[in-house]
A and B are shown apart, each in its own frame.
Chain A
Amino acid sequence: MDGIAGKKSGLVWAVHLSTIALVLLWVVPTFGLLVSSFRTGDQIVGSGWWQSLSTQVQQLAAVRIEGDEVERDGVFVIEGQLYAAGTDVSAWGTSSREPEAYEPGAVADLGDGVTLTVGADGGFVLSSPSTMADLRMPRVFATASTPPEFTTGNYSNVIASPLAGQSIGQAFLNTMTVAIPATIIPILVAAFAAYALAWMDFPGRALLVAFVVGLLVVPLQLALIPLLQFHNWIGIGKGYLGIWMAHTGFGLPLAIYLLRNYMVGLPRDIIENAKVDGATDFQIFTKIILPLSFPALASFAIFQFLWTWNDLLVALVFLGTGNDQQVLTGNIVNLMGSRGGDWEILSASAFVSIAVPLAVFFSMQRFLVRGLLAGSVK
């Protein structure tokens, strides 16, 4: 018996460890971007985000000395600070071939009596026996350690300033403008239809359900051109009205399917009793079905909200590209094109767009799971 018990606990350990590994694998990517979004641009390119808590020793970009010269005891001197406070220079040089030629505080002879000293704190003294007005200023290469630095400046930067057409803050508002009506309107339309398909008897009902199930998988790629033509033809063109209608249309099959499946499961007695008591279908729907279906309504609302918030394709096609129309996803794709290497901008922008769906996700996960379980065609 001991052997079996031992094997069991070994297996339990293996399960715990594999779960931890799997969870880490799934969380680390997002976490990396989150950490990056709080680091300064210099820090992000200086070291990986996993080293963000340690002091970095790195080769700093070359800096050309500049400043106004002062005559002191017959010697012309330029003094100043090369790097931000907190930088700790460990070695420096004046040519790219020998970037670590001098210790901090050492004196470099640049010829013609010109000398340069760079201190550990990044302060420099350039002195010369004659005026340096015509002198080509030397460049300083330094290896320095910089302390970890975190900032919320990336967020205020992307939210306020227009980096790719419009600011992320504006794009955020645009996305809200798209997502909220596109979530609410299909619910109502679908709820009535779902009730009819679940509880009313009429010829062709089974056929209609099959029709809805079929439409569930129709790729919306097919709808782009015909609908754009249609929108142009009825005169609404590219704009919010068009995208609200498009999202409503594309969301309806899932809405009707989810709600119908849920409503069919409601107890028959309640509905029949209400009918016997003389309630009309409209009353049954508004007073009984709708309140009872709240969980299903909530599930669909979350789906549709996440889908419309995260959508790129429909927004690209049915919305214009003006500042008052471009959505978050579109803005970020533009940023990836134009500012692809500026991770402090990209990471903060991405997190602004991810924040709302994540909040919805974590607060309403229960409904989301329920909806998923009901929505996958069985």
Chain B
Amino acid sequence: MHPALQALFVIVIGVGGCVFYFYASNIFLDKVLYPARGPNAGRNTNRANMIRPWLFLFPALALLCLYLAYPVFATAWLSVFNRDGAFVGLGNYSAMFAEPKFVESLQNNILWLIVVPAAATAFGLLAAQLTDRIKWGNFAKSLIFMPMAISFVGASVIFKLIYDSRDANLSQIGLINAVWLKFDGGVGSFLMLRLVPFVLIGCLFLAILWAGWSVLRPLVQGQGGSILVTLARLLGAAVALFLGYELAIWLYGIATNELPYGTPQVWLQKPYWNNFFLMAVLVWIQTGFAMVILSAALRGVPEDTIEAATIDGANPFQIFFKIKVPQIMGTIVVVWTTITITVLKVFDIVLAMTNGQWETQVLANYMYDKLFRSLDWGMGSASAMIIMLLVTPILIWNVINARKEMR
């Protein structure tokens, strides 16, 4: 049978089957099992009403359990067996951590987890604020939002053209290289490639150090909370310190590096930096999402708080950072965590653009490699469990919040 016909057939069968199931099971419950008449009418009605929710839920629950809940346990189970089906305990995990490619993908994933959510949320916030009060704001929004509809693979093709590199004697067709070749080491290059980046990264560096300090300050001043809070604060400060260290290296590099002016660069084959070129694709896609949600949140900020601040003489920047941002902090966290989850699953971009070569491997693509190229289901499952492990804090956080809301 032709697949398209088959598809049509499945739609009819699927939809018809669902409707039939729901209709017939309800009829059966009401008319045959517990009919609402005769001497037990009242009791029967109650019983039928106790069973009915489960009739409505059954297909969905069955699919959820089979397609999402069961695989978590099955994967955990598979991850403790080796290629030949012998039980190895945590052997797969220790073998994996000894493998340089895995350590590389874990490091890269951490880099992705820090950069992409931060950049996408920041750009989204900027776009939301900029488009909020201008006439053509909605038009601008829909253009920035557009990449959401484009597949990761399509976006990879788009950006591969941008990063394209050709021999020095040919004309460059990649936008980045064309711009790069305009720099010749003169005043303009100093301004654009040293001064401006130095100032921007320097600001970021100071902001991160300040954030780390403000997280740590209550501890230093002896206002420790519970152990959990103390630990969280220490962790936050450590992350800030690490980022600060990383940025300090960048600053040093920007100031001192000799740049290879005049020669086209193969951007995707420059270890470490190529990760950022891949991340740019995801940031490009996710910014629209962040913008839409944050712009709705910004609209929800009560007008009178802004008016009060204006009357008190706050400038637009103070209004934005001290009045608006604190009020939408909850939404920012939501956006951040949602993008974090997307980042953990990122696979298509890396597969399509570098396939993990030149030190760009990430966990999801590493896992795919293990599962379907090396056909090592034990190792593959173990790396999938690492992804699950990284998602778990967000999962718990979401469930706790959902429970709070239900009450």
Q: Which of A11-19, A70-78, A85-93 contacts B (4 or more CB under 8 A)?
A: A11-19
Interface string of A182-218 (1 = CB under 8 A from B): 0011001110110111001110011011111111111
Contact A177 B4 (CB under 8 A): yes
Contact A184 B64 (CB under 8 A): no
A30 to B142, CA, bound (A): 14
| Chain B residues in 8 Å Cβ range of A226 | 70-71, 74-75, 78
| Chain A residues in 8 Å Cβ range of B271 | none
| Chain A residues in 8 Å Cβ range of B367 | 221
Q: What is the minimal beta-carbon distance from B144 to any residue of chain A, in angstroms?
A: 5
State whether the Cβ of B372 lies closer than 8 Å to any Cβ in chain A: yes
Contact A336 B156 (CB under 8 A): yes
Which residues 171-193 of B sit at the A interface, judged by CB distance below 8 A? 171-175, 178
State whether the Cβ of B348 lies closer than 8 Å to any Cβ in chain A: yes
State whether the Cβ of B205 lies closer than 8 Å to any Cβ in chain A: no
Interface centre among B64, B146, B162 (most CB of A within 10 A): B64
Contact B57 A197 (CB under 8 A): yes
State whether the Cβ of A33 lies closer than 8 Å to any Cβ in chain B: yes
State whether the Cβ of B218 lies closer than 8 Å to any Cβ in chain A: no
Contact A23 B56 (CB under 8 A): no
One of A177, A222, A230, A336 near B72 (C-beta < 8 A):
A222
Closest residue of B by beta carbon distance from A34 = B158
A312 to B63, CA, bound (A): 22
| Chain A residues in 8 Å Cβ range of B173 | 44-45, 47-49, 343
Closest residue of B by beta carbon distance from A361 = B149
| Chain B residues in 8 Å Cβ range of A378 | 330-331, 334, 401, 405
One of B56, B70, B364 near A192 (C-beta < 8 A):
B56
Contact B172 A357 (CB under 8 A): no
Number of interface residues of B (CB under 8 A): 116
Interface string of B143-175 (1 = CB under 8 A from A): 111111111111011111110101000111111
Closest residue of A by beta carbon distance from B30 = A280
Given known A-B contacts A193-B60, A219-B345, A358-B146, A209 and B402 have beta carbons under 8 A apart: yes
Closest residue of B by beta carbon distance from A359 = B149
| Chain B residues in 8 Å Cβ range of A358 | 146, 149-150
Contact A346 B157 (CB under 8 A): yes
Given known A-B contacts A19-B130, A222-B384, A310-B154, A26 and B67 have beta carbons under 8 A apart: no
| Chain B residues in 8 Å Cβ range of A230 | 66
Contact A333 B401 (CB under 8 A): no
State whether the Cβ of A270 lies closer than 8 Å to any Cβ in chain B: no
One of A11, A282, A310 near B23 (C-beta < 8 A):
A282
Q: What is the minimal beta-carbon distance from B103 to any residue of chain A, in angstroms?
A: 19
Closest residue of A by beta carbon distance from B162 = A29
Q: What is the minimal beta-carbon distance from A202 to any residue of chain B, in angstroms?
A: 4
Which residues 104-138 of B sit at the A interface, judged by CB distance below 8 A? 123, 126-127, 130-131, 133-134, 137
Contact B381 A29 (CB under 8 A): no
Contact B3 A202 (CB under 8 A): no
One of B171, B385, B391 near A47 (C-beta < 8 A):
B171
A193 to B75, CA, bound (A): 27
Interface string of A221-234 (1 = CB under 8 A from B): 11111110110000
Contact A221 B144 (CB under 8 A): no
A131 to B1, CA, bound (A): 64
One of B6, B146, B347 near A312 (C-beta < 8 A):
B347
Interface string of B1-27 (1 = CB under 8 A from A): 001101100110011001100110010
Number of interface residues of A (CB under 8 A): 116
One of A49, A50, A224, A249 near B63 (C-beta < 8 A):
A249
A162 to B391, CA, bound (A): 41
Q: What is the minimal beta-carbon distance from B221 to any residue of chain A, in angstroms?
A: 33
State whether the Cβ of B276 lies closer than 8 Å to any Cβ in chain A: no
Closest residue of A by beta carbon distance from B401 = A377
| Chain B residues in 8 Å Cβ range of A46 | 171
Contact B405 A193 (CB under 8 A): no
State whether the Cβ of A38 lies closer than 8 Å to any Cβ in chain B: no
Interface string of A79-107 (1 = CB under 8 A from B): 00000000000000000000000000000
Closest residue of A by beta carbon distance from B351 = A333
| Chain B residues in 8 Å Cβ range of A212 | 64
Contact B292 A369 (CB under 8 A): yes
Q: What is the minimal beta-carbon distance from A59 to any residue of chain B, in angstroms?
A: 8
| Chain A residues in 8 Å Cβ range of B146 | 26-27, 30, 358, 361-362
A250 to B345, CA, bound (A): 14
One of B56, B131, B296, B377 near A196 (C-beta < 8 A):
B56
A369 to B295, CA, bound (A): 11
A353 to B402, CA, bound (A): 37
Given known A-B contacts A350-B154, A378-B405, A252 and B334 have beta carbons under 8 A apart: no
Given known A-B contacts A29-B158, A222-B75, A48 and B142 have beta carbons under 8 A apart: no
Contact B6 A354 (CB under 8 A): no
Closest residue of A by beta carbon distance from B9 = A181
State whether the Cβ of B316 lies closer than 8 Å to any Cβ in chain A: yes
Q: Which of A113-121, A143-151, A237-245 contacts B (4 or more CB under 8 A)?
A: A237-245
| Chain B residues in 8 Å Cβ range of A324 | 3
Name 17 A/B residue pairs within 8 A (Cβ), A-sorted: A19-B137, A27-B146, A36-B161, A47-B171, A188-B15, A200-B52, A208-B57, A214-B398, A217-B395, A222-B384, A248-B67, A282-B22, A312-B348, A343-B161, A346-B161, A362-B142, A376-B334
| 5 additional contacts (CB under 8 A) given A47-B173, A181-B14 | A32-B162, A214-B395, A214-B399, A217-B341, A312-B352
Name B's A-contacting residues (CB within 8 A). 3-4, 6-7, 10-11, 14-15, 18-19, 22-23, 26, 30, 50, 52-54, 56-57, 59-61, 63-64, 66-72, 74-75, 78, 123, 126-127, 130-131, 133-134, 137, 140, 142-154, 156-162, 164, 166, 170-175, 178, 284, 287-289, 292-293, 296, 316, 330-331, 334-335, 337-338, 341, 344-345, 347-348, 351-352, 364, 367-368, 371-372, 377, 380-381, 384-385, 387-388, 391, 394-395, 398-399, 401-403, 405-406
3 cross-chain pairs, A with B, having the tightest CB-CB distances, nearest first: A249-B67, A310-B151, A193-B60
